[in-house]
Amino acid sequence: MSAKECDLLVIGGGPAGFWAGLVGAIKGLKTILAEEGPLGGTCLNRGCVPLAVFLNYISALRLVKKLADEGYGVSLKDLTIDAVNMFKSIKSKVVDPLSGSMRDVLENLGVEVINGRALLESGNSARVGSEVIKFKRAVVATGLRWGGINGAMPPTEFTDIDEVPSTVVVIGGNAFGLGIASAFSLLGSEVILVEDGELLSGFDKEIVDYVTLALLERGVRIFTNAKVVNIINKGDIKETHLINPEGELRISSDEVIDASTYVPRNEVFGGVSVRLKGGYVAVDEYLRTSTPNIYAAGDITGNLPYAHVAIVQGIIAGLNASGGNLRINYKAVPKYLYAYPDAFSAGLTEAEAKELGYEVAVARQSLTSNALAKASGSEGIIKIVVDAKYGGILGIHGAGVGISELINEAAILLGLESTSDAVLATFLAHPTVGEVLREALIQVTKS
């Protein structure tokens, strides 16, 4: 059988692979993308996208309910939410069409999308099913697979539930875990959150405190520094055995979701040996693996497991595989919690900035006095860490319902190394939620 030939083979059609393939095609490479599932990867199909859509719909409904409850002239009778149905609808009406349109985008650019699991056989050939593909360069973006504890459900299956559990244990105080925990909490489940370290590692402490308090107020029970020993099925009930500094604990629940543990899908490398780092595929700042014509992007590289990291890696890997020479710089990666409330931490936290020896000025501003926040039902706080010496913006952090609208402003201001005075001289529109940045930065202006 004759082999297919291409300039660029992309393995994996998640955020990293999609963007790598797109860039390769735009750059004129004959590009093949192999994906065993639907395009869009975990994020679109079973992760952040359906979760964010769900939370957004719930937020919208809560805004309507608030208008009704607080006498804004809105009357509302019998607002009920059938979550199982909503998840199904999100899948069929939002996720699947988006995945389909990703395929259209690639195919319109001339990318051949092959459905199947790829395995590298050598530095320039791979097998997808019975098909052999010869390539000049490859981008591997196969991501992570769930590696959670026995007896637990992967968080990626939350849209497939048959009924809303009345009690659910969520393991993992990371962004995905908190997102799942808030979703079930909003649906009326009693949620118990278990994390073996601290919640939202890497976020600014004030942001973590805000989110923690909001979850506690919603009735979520939180166990930090708690390690899950095992989960025992007792008929319809699952019993989670955990150890925390206070001792041992057994928690009964209808469901246990483990969002804490994932492992890289390295088996794709089959016949090619690449250097690993901490179990993940090691890449240099150009996203090259130790086999020079093979690049890797996305979660398999062991960076912060955010889709936005994967996307930028995919773009840079795609460009470099097309003859570019771009380096990736993770300095301004925003950490993102899409939950209820949502939160982000971009750049340096206050503690990190102090540790690095900066003379730090901190600006804080609440959304309480922001007109458009009232209109959109947003609330929360913004905290900006500024280098007091030169006015450089070192970190932007936010927590509150709807606050994540500001994450891209934060990413751009940090990525382009802005200063407080530069932002104050910028025409941030009014009324917007984003002008809260101006309200905060006026407190620390250098001029």
Partner 1 sequence: MVTEVRMPKLGLTMTKGTIKKWLKSEGDAVRKGEPLLIIETEKITSTIEAPASGYLIKIVAQAGSTVPVGNLIAYIGEMGEQIPSITAAPEVVPTQVAPAPPERVVARPAAPARVRATPRARALAEKEGIDLSQVAGSGPGGLITEDDVLKYIEGIKARTKLGLRVKKSIPLTPLRATIAERMSESLRTMAQVTIMREEDVSKLIKLREELQPVIEKEVGIRLTYTPMLIKAVAEVLKEHPLINSTLEDNEIKVIDEINVGFAVAVDHGLVVPVIKNADKKSLKDIVIECNELARKAREGTLSLDDVSGGTFTITNLGMYGVDGFTPIINPPQVAILGVGRIISKPAVVDGRVDVRPLCTFSLTFDHRVIDGHTAAQFLDGLIKLLGNETALREVLRVS
Contact between 393 and partner 1 (CB under 8 A)?
yes
Contact between 392 and partner 1 (CB under 8 A)?
yes
Nearer to partner 1, 299 or 387 (CB): 387
Q: Is 89 helix (H, G, I), strand (E, B) or coil?
A: helix
Give the separation between CA 432 and CA 428, rounded to whole angstroms. 8
Contact between 417 and partner 1 (CB under 8 A)?
yes
Give the separation between CA 148 and CA 257, rounded to whole angstroms. 9
Nearer to partner 1, 257 or 393 (CB): 393
Cβ partners under 8 Å of residue 201, min gap 6: 173, 174
Give the separation between CA 403 and CA 337, rounded to whole angstroms. 10
Q: Is 144 helix (H, G, I), strand (E, B) or coil?
A: strand
Supply the minimum distance, in Å, between the C-beta of residue 391 and partner 1: 5
Q: What is the DSSP letter of 70?
A: T
Supply the minimum distance, in Å, between the C-beta of residue 372 and partner 1: 26
Q: For the window 84-123, what string marks contact with partner 1 as x by the rule CB under 8 A?
A: ----------------------------------------
Nearer to partner 1, 107 or 417 (CB): 417
Contact 141, 63 (CB under 8 A): no
φ/ψ of 338, rounded to 5, equals -100, 95
Give the interface size with partner 1 as a residue count (CB under 8 A): 13
Supply the minimum distance, in Å, between the C-beta of residue 207 and partner 1: 22
Single residue of 125, 142, 291, 418 touching partner 1 by CB under 8 A: 418
From 84-92, 216-224, 275-283, 391-399, give the range in contact with partner 1 by CB under 8 A. Answer: 391-399
| DSSP string over 372-435 | HHHHHT---EEEEEEETTT-BEEEEEEEETTGGGGHHHHHHHHHTT-BHHHHHTS---SS-STT
Decide: residue 273, CB within 10 A, 0-12 exposed, 13-18 middle, 19+ buried. exposed
Supply the minimum distance, in Å, between the C-beta of residue 346 and partner 1: 14
From 99-107, 334-342, 416-424, 427-435, give the range in contact with partner 1 by CB under 8 A. Answer: 416-424
Nearer to partner 1, 82 or 417 (CB): 417
φ/ψ of 244, rounded to 5, equals -130, 175
Contact 344, 408 (CB under 8 A): no
Contact between 391 and partner 1 (CB under 8 A)?
yes
Supply the minimum distance, in Å, between the C-beta of residue 310 and partner 1: 19
Supply the minimum distance, in Å, between the C-beta of residue 390 and partner 1: 4
From 74-82, 110-118, 335-343, 415-423, give the range in contact with partner 1 by CB under 8 A. Answer: 415-423
Supply the minimum distance, in Å, between the C-beta of residue 292 and partner 1: 23
Nearer to partner 1, 213 or 412 (CB): 412
The continuous run of DSSP H or E covering 212 comes out as: helix 205-217
φ/ψ of 268, rounded to 5, equals -55, -25
Residues pairing with 131 in the sheet? 128
Contact between 76 and partner 1 (CB under 8 A)?
no
Give the separation between CA 286 and CA 383, rounded to whole angstroms. 33
Pick the closest to residue 152 from 130, 180, 131 (CA basis).
180
Single residue of 26, 388, 422, 428 touching partner 1 by CB under 8 A: 422
Instruction: Looking at residues 371 to 390 of the shown chain, list those that interact with partner 1 (rule: CB under 8 A).
Output: 387, 389-390
Supply the minimum distance, in Å, between the C-beta of residue 350 and partner 1: 18
Supply the minimum distance, in Å, between the C-beta of residue 347 and partner 1: 11
Binding site for partner 1 (CB under 8 A): 387, 389-393, 416-419, 421-422, 446
